Amino acid sequence: MAAIAESLFQGAWVLLLCGSVLVGSVAATVFQVRRRALAGTGTEPERSDQLFWDLFLGAAVALPALLIPALASPWAGLFLGGAAVASGVAAYRGSPRMVAWLSLRRQRREYLPLHSAAQAEHNVLLERWRRYELDPAYCIDYPAMTDVRLPQTAAVIKAMREAEQLRAAGHQGYPPAVERFGRALAAAEQAAGIPAGGR
C-alpha cells in the first residue's frame, strides 16, 4: 500500500514538473513567434531562419516534457497535450496585448529622462516669464512682454498654456511643447528689444 502511495506521489510530481515545463515552453515559443510576426522586421531569409530556431528550441524543451509522462501513462500524455494546446492558444490570442504593453513600457522608460529634462527647462522658462509679469521694473522697461495684443506675446501665452496642459497630462508631446514655449519666449523677447544678456 505504501509503495502504491509513493508511486502516485512521484507520478504527481513528474506530471506537475513536466506539465509546467511543457506549458511554459509552448507559451513562450508561440509568444516569440507571434511577436516576431507582429514586428515584421528583417528580410524574408532572416525571418524564416529566426522562425526555425524559435520552433526548434521550443520543441527541444516541449517534446521531452510531453513524451516522458506520456510513456509512463497515456492519460498523462493526453492531459499534458491538451494543456499544451490550451497554453499555445492563450499565448497566441494574448500576444498582441502583451506586445503592446511591452512596447508601451519601453517607450515610457525611454521617455522618462526626456520628460524630466523638459520639466527642468519648463521651470526655467516659467521663471523667466514671471519676471515680466511680477517685477515692476521689467513691466515698466518691457511692456510689450505683457501686452497680449502683440502676436509674439500671444504666441508665448499659447505655447505656455499648451506646455502646461501636456505636463499635467504626462503626454509624450510635452518635451516638444516646452521647446516651442522656449522659442516663442525668445522670439517675444527679441521683438520687445530685450538684449540677449538680459534674458
Would you write out the chain's pLDDT as a tens digit for each of its 199 residues? 554 545 544 556 677 787 888 888 888 888 888 887 777 666 666 677 787 888 888 888 888 888 878 887 788 778 888 888 888 888 888 878 887 888 778 877 877 788 888 899 999 999 999 988 888 888 888 888 888 888 998 999 999 999 999 888 877 888 999 999 999 999 998 888 887 655 5
d(C-alpha 175, C-alpha 161), whole Å = 14
d(C-alpha 74, C-alpha 68), whole Å = 10
pLDDT (0 to 100) of residue 8: 47
pLDDT (0 to 100) of residue 198: 56
pLDDT (0 to 100) of residue 121: 93
pLDDT (0 to 100) of residue 5: 45
pLDDT (0 to 100) of residue 76: 78
d(C-alpha 34, C-alpha 99), whole Å = 9
Are 177 and 163 spatial neighbours (Cβ–Cβ below 8 Å)?
yes
Are 25 and 58 spatial neighbours (Cβ–Cβ below 8 Å)?
yes
Residues 6+ apart with CB under 8 A from 153: 144, 145, 146, 147, 188
Question: On the CB side of 197, how many CA atoms lie within 13 Å of its CA?
Answer: 0
Residues 6+ apart with CB under 8 A from 66: 18, 22, 77, 80, 81, 84
- The pTM of the whole model exceeds 0.85: no
The residue to which cell 513524451 is assigned: 67
The DSSP annotation for the chain comes to -HHHHHHHHHHHHHHHHHHHHHHHHHHHHHHHHHHHHHH--S-HHHHHHHHHHHHHHHHHHHHHHHHHHHHH-HHHHHHHHHHHHHHHHHHHHHHHHHHHHHHHHHHHHHHHHHHHHHHHHHHHHHHHHHHHHH-HHHHHH-GGGG-TTSHHHHHHHHHHHHHHHHHHHT-TTHHHHHHHHHHHHHHHHHHTT--GGG-
d(C-alpha 162, C-alpha 167), whole Å = 9
